[in-house]
C-alpha cells in the first residue's frame, strides 16, 4: 500500500519529530562556569526560590542538553581543562542529559576577535598544529569516553568567524589552512565517537555574508562538517532591533540549510538578565529555530544562564542578584 506523507511522519515521530518539521529543537545551556561558581561557594535557586543543582533546574525548565567548553592549558590550571570537563560530563550523564563538547583550541577564550594559539603550540608549523589538534581532541574525548559518557555533538573551534589558531589558521590569510585544521578536528572526533555530530560554529547569526564566506571557503577546500552552529545575542547586534536580529538569524539559518544541506543550531544565545523582554526575546528565537526549513533547526543553547549579574563581568546570565532563576528560564518550558 502506498504510504501517505502523514503516515510517514507519524512513523518518523518515534525517532525524531523534526523529520517532518514538527519537532521542537533540543533545548539546553552552556554551563561551563559551574565548577568555578560552585568552588566560590555560590548556590543556584530555581524559579520558586528552592536551592537546587544547576542541572536539576535546567531539567525543570525543559532543558535536556549541556554544552561544555575545553581549553588546552588553562591559565588557572584547572577550569575548562580536560579534568574539569570530565567531572562535569559525568554529572551530565547522571542527569540523563545530552552533551556537546566545545573545543576552543586555545588556553583561553576563542571568539571572532581572539583565536590565540595555546602557548605550547606557539611556534608550531601547520603540520604540527594539525597534529596538536588531532591529539588534543582525541585526548579529551577519550577521557570523556573512558568515564562512560556519550557525546552527541562536538564543536571544532568556537566562533571561528575568521578561522582559528591564528595566524596559520586565519581564514582571511589562508582559508585552506583553516579548512585543513577543521578537517583534522573532524576526523579526530569521529575516531573516538563515530556517531557524534561535528559542529562548525560562528558568531553573529544575523551576518549572512560572513557565514557564506566561511562555509563557501570550507567547502571549496574540502572541509567536512555535520552541523552549522551560530551564536545569537539579539540585543548586542549593532544596528538591529532584537526583532530584526532574530528575523535575520532565521533567514541566515534557512540559507545555510539550503546552501550546504546540513542542519543548523544556535550554539549560544543570551540577553541581559534584567531586560524587560528577556523571556520574549529568547522564546521568539526558540520558535524560529523550530521554524527552520525541513525541521533542520535542531537545537538552541543558552550561554551560562547560571551566572549571577556581574559574575566575571558578565550580565547576560539568567539569575538575579540573589541567584534565583529569572523569567527567561520559562522560555524553555
10-residue stretch averages of pLDDT, the chain, 333 residues long: 39 39 80 96 97 98 98 92 98 98 98 98 98 98 98 98 98 98 98 98 98 98 98 98 98 98 98 98 98 98 96 97 98 96
Q: Which triple of cell numbers denotes residue 270?
A: 543570551
* Residue 305 main-chain phi, psi, to 5 deg: -70, -20
Q: Which of 36, 38, 268, 304 is catalytic?
A: 268
Which among 315, 310, 303 has a CA at the least distance from the CA of 109?
Answer: 303
Pick the CATH number of 30-332 from 3.20.20.80, 3.40.50.12140, 3.30.360.10, 3.40.50.300: 3.20.20.80
Residue with cell 552527541: 152
Q: Which residue in 36, 38, 159, 304 is the catalytic one? A: 159
* E-strand stretches of the chain: 26-30, 65-70, 98-103, 153-156, 197-202, 227-232, 264-269, 297-303
What residue spans define the domains of the chain?
Answer: 30-332
Tell me the C-alpha to C-alpha distance, in Å, between residue 260 and each of 217, 293, 312: 12, 13, 37
Among candidates 9, 14, 31, 15, which has minimal Cα distance to 304?
A: 31
Q: What secondary structure letter does DSSP report for 240?
A: -
In whole angstroms, give the CA distance from residue 273 to residue 205.
20
For residue 132, give the 3-state DSSP assignment.
Answer: helix
What is the predicted pLDDT for the residue at 23?
Answer: 58
Q: What angle do CA 32, 52, 49 make, to 5 degrees?
A: 115
Residue 60 appears among annotated catalytic residues: no
Per the confidence metrics, is the pTM higher than 0.85? yes
- How many beta carbons lie within 10 A of that of residue 159, not counting itself? 25
Active site residue 159: yes
What's the chain's length in residues?
333
- Bond before 167 cis per omega within 30 degrees: yes
The pLDDT, as a whole number, for residue 5 is 35
* pLDDT given for residue 76 in this prediction: 83
Dihedral sign computed on CA atoms, order 207, 114, 306, 54: positive
Amino acid at each position: 500500500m502506498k504510504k501517505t506523507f502523514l503516515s510517514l511522519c507519524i512513523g518518523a515521530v518515534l525517532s525524531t519529530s523534526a523529520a517532518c518539521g514538527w519537532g521542537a529543537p533540543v533545548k539546553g545551556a552552556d554551563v561551563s562556569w559551574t565548577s568555578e561558581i560552585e568552588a566560590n561557594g555560590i548556590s543556584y535557586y530555581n524559579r520558586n526560590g528552592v536551592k537546587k543543582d544547576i542541572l536539576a533546574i535546567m531539567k525543570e525548565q525543559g532543558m535536556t542538553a549541556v554544552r561544555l567548553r575545553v581549553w588546552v592549558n588553562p591559565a588557572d590550571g584547572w577550569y575548562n581543562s580536560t579534568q574539569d570537563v570530565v567531572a562535569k560530563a559525568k554529572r551530565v550523564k547522571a542527569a540523563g542529559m545530552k552533551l556537546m563538547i566545545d573545543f576552543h583550541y586555545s588556553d583561553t577564550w576563542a571568539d571572532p576577535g581572539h583565536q590565540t594559539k595555546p602557548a605550547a603550540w606557539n611556534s608550531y608549523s601547520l603540520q604540527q598544529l594539525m597534529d596538536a589538534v588531532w591529539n588534543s581532541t582525541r585526548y579529551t574525548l577519550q577521557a570523556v569516553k573512558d568515564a562512560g559518557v556519550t557525546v552527541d555533538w562536538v564543536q571544532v573551534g568556537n566562533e571561528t568567524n575568521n578561522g582559528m589558531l591564528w595566524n596559520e589558521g586565519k581564514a582571511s590569510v589562508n582559508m585552506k589552512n583553516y579548512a585543513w585544521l577543521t578537517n583534522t578536528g573532524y576526523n579526530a572526533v569521529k575516531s573516538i565517537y563515530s556517531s557524534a555530530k561535528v559542529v562548525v560554529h560562528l558568531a553573529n547569526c544575523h551576518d549572512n555574508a560572513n557565514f557564506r564566506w566561511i562555509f563557501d571557503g570550507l567547502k571549496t577546500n574540502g572541509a567536512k562538517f555535520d552541523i552549522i552552529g551560530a551564536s545569537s545575542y539579539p540585543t548586542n547586534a549593532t544596528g538591529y532591533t532584537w526583532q530584526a536580529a532574530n528575523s535575520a538569524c532565521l533567514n541566515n539559518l534557512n540559507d545555510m540549510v539550503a546552501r550546504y544541506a546540513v542542519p543548523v543550531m544556535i550554539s549560544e544565545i543570551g540577553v541581559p538578565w534584567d531586560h524587560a523582554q528577556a523571556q520574549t526575546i529568547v522564546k521568539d528565537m526558540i520558535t524560529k529555530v523550530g521554524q527552520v526549513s525541513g525541521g533542520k533547526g535542531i537545537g538552541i543553547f543558552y550561554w551560562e544562564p547560571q551566572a549571577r549579574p556581574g559574575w566575571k563581568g558578565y550580565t547576560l546570565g539568567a539569575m538575579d542578584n540573589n541567584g534565583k532563576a529569572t523569567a527567561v528560564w520559562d522560555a524553555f518550558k
